Amino acid sequence: MIIYEKIDLFLKQYIKGDRYLWAFISLLAIFSFLPVYSASTNLVSTYGEGNTAFRYLFKHAIFLLIGFCILFFTQFIDYKYFYKMSILFIPIIFILLIFTMNQRKELDGVNASRWLYIPIINISFQTSSIAGLVLFVYCARYLSQKKKKQINLKNSFFPLIFPVFLIVGLIFPSDGSTAVIIFSSVLILFFIGGIPLKSVIGFLIMGFLLSGIYIYSVIKWGDKKPMNRVYTWKSRIENFLDHKSKKSYQMEQSKTAIVLGNKFGRGPGKSVLKAFLPQSSSDFIYAIIIEEYGAIGGVILLFIYILILIRIMIIATKVKNYSCSLLVLSVGFPIINQALINMGIAVGLFPVTGQTLPLISAGGTSIWVTFLSFGIILSVSRMIYPSLSEAKSH
């Protein structure tokens, strides 16, 4: 009884914000140990001696521990500081993306300049994940400040449109799927933030035109074996649209895993396809989850993400502050958007990209950025509960 009271006191004192959201985040993070440990068999066979499944599980645990630390400390930060920091970080993100792009790293002859390596401290991180979060917060700040003013191309080009297209444009050549997701999330935020639909459609058309010009230029004048990923995108989209063509090896293995899972699955750790499916611990972990826990397990996981979306919408509605509501939606929607896209790819609804499943897939930068995003949401949600307690007292 005394232990229970101490735990309860600790939770009330240090765990702030929406308790339901805390529960869902913790539930997904704890569950992630099972599929990551199981799917790491593929990594062991790929990287050979000296690597074990436990080693990758331990690495995943460290990433999650750091993520929870980020979540814990972020919840105490006032939301206004996130808006202020976004202004500072926008130019920093430009510089980091340029450095990342100029590394010109290759993987199987294709552009793989997604990670920025810091040699002195021996750490690498994915700049596009950080860039996306900074851009979302920056756009939410601008839209909240211009709430009662009409936003158009003329008066918002340099403070809003130019940074969006510049950041997305720097990410696009090496990570097209992430660039598309960031751009689509920004357009949704624009619409929520009060920008007229015709202007949002205009920005969308601009995005199509600029990306089309880039793709056409590469195909028309580029090398047939270029550093860019245009031919990879072209191949994936053609395979996805042509139902008679032979699907990619990843999609074939993913669908096979889902079929083997049936309704109730083969059981935890009993996946057969985990040793053959590339990126089984990250991009295609949802297929392994369905194989081991069945269609029911896959639906339950989808349902948890839907519950998180509902909590995000509830927080944004109850906070009674337009700037806070916009901030919550700006960092919350992209998480759910990424989760739905990852699951959709695994079941064959979308072409193969390279998106991880938030809070579940193995990784480093993506996990930390997700925790940071949830920390921002929890920070805002702290503003709700005092008013609720006062209402109860009356």
Ordered by start, the domain boundaries in the chain are 1-74+246-394, 84-242
130 or 153: whose pLDDT is higher? 130
List Cβ neighbours of 102 (8 Å cut-off, separation of 6 or more): 113
DSSP state of 111: E
pTM for this model (two decimals): 0.90
pLDDT score of 392: 44
Cα(339)–Cα(308) distance, integer angstroms: 11
- pLDDT of 46 reads 55
Provide the token pair at 39.
């799917």
Q: Is 114's pLDDT higher than 70?
A: yes
User: On the CB side of 202, how many CA atoms lie within 13 Å of its CA?
Assistant: 11
Q: What is the pLDDT of residue 273?
A: 83
Is residue 391's pLDDT more than 60? no
Cα Dmax for the chain: 73
Q: What is the DSSP letter of 32?
A: T
Mean pLDDT taken over the chain = 84
First to last CA, the chain: 31
Question: Residue holding tokens 């992430």?
Answer: 178
What whole-number percentage of the chain has pLDDT above 70?
83
76 pLDDT above the threshold of 70: yes
Helices H / strands E in the chain, number of each:
17, 4
E strand or H helix that includes residue 369: helix 365-381
Question: Which pLDDT belongs to residue 49?
Answer: 47
Is the confidence at residue 316, as pLDDT, over 90?
Answer: yes
Helices (H), 193-284: 197-221, 230-241, 249-261
- Quick: pLDDT tens for 265-303: 999 988 888 878 877 888 899 999 999 999 999 999 999
Looking at per-residue confidence, does 315 or 49 come out higher? 315
Question: Alpha-carbon distance 188 to 191, whole Å?
Answer: 5
Q: How far apart are CA 374 and CA 390, in angstroms?
A: 26
CA 25 to chain centre: 14
The CA-atom distances, in angstroms, between 261 and each of 66, 256, 285, 303 are 33, 9, 13, 18
Residue 81: pLDDT band with limits 50, 70, 90? very high
The residue among 237 and 301 whose pLDDT is bigger is 301
176-197 pLDDT per residue, tens:
889 999 999 999 999 999 888 8
> 179 Cβ partners below 8 Å, 6+ apart?
128, 168, 169, 171, 172
Q: How far is CA 295 from the centre of its chain?
A: 23
